[in-house]
Amino acid sequence: MTRILVTTDQSELGQQAFAHAQALAGALGAELVALCVQPDPNVAVAGEFGYLPPTDPKEYASQALAVRDALTAQLPEARVLVEQAGGRPVSRAIIDTAQAEGADLIVMATHGRSGLGRAILGSVAEAVVHHSKVPVVLVRSGQKVTAWR
């Protein structure tokens, strides 16, 4: 494995995957690529009417730079990518980026939702696992990094 893609949604749980990805990259001598996909604004639908909140391109660019700078500070050894979903599900954006970057492995966090929460919110991690052509390591809340040798 020469390239590992680690994803984050900027949540505390999303940050936990970093330690696992760093340990794996260090043990394997692999390049680390960090990815944050910014989802599209949520569309509100009522009956036959829909509302898409306006998105200011300058505001988006400013947010993307702030996210990139924060990730670069956290993972100085990684190449950092911040992408907009662009009409795709976040899972598809992750898979597309992994393919474009030539990633050999994807490391990402999972909230581990089940039941109604999973039915309503879906599971980005589950979709990535089912559709990725490369192995995926899922990090759950509270998992500790073990030494990789």
Task: In whole angstroms, give the CA distance from residue 51 to residue 106.
Answer: 34
pLDDT by position in tens, the chain (length 149): 899 999 988 888 778 889 899 999 999 999 999 999 987 766 555 566 665 555 677 777 888 899 899 999 989 999 999 988 888 889 999 999 999 999 999 999 887 666 554 444 458 888 999 999 999 999 887 666 655 54
Number of C-beta neighbours around residue 72 at 10 A: 13
- Core vs surface per residue 99-120: b (16+ CB within 10 A) or e: eebebbbbbbbbbeeeeeeeee
| 148 is a domain residue | no
pLDDT of residue 119: 47
Tell me the longest C-alpha to C-alpha distance in the chain. Answer: 58
Please report, as a single letter, which amino acid is at residue 31: E
55: domain CATH number is 3.40.50.620
Q: pTM (2 decimals)?
A: 0.81
| 70 is a domain residue | yes
Helix (H) or strand (E) holding 98: helix 90-101
| 25 is a domain residue | yes
The whole domain housing 49 covers 3-140
Say if residues 25 and 32 touch (Cβ distance below 8 Å): yes
- DSSP 3-state of 77: coil
| 146 is a domain residue | no
pLDDT of residue 34: 96
The total number of structural domains that make up the chain: 1
| 128 is a domain residue | yes
| 145 is a domain residue | no
Instruction: Enumerate residues 6+ apart whose C-beta is below 8 A from 27.
Output: 148, 149
| 126 is a domain residue | yes
| 108 is a domain residue | yes
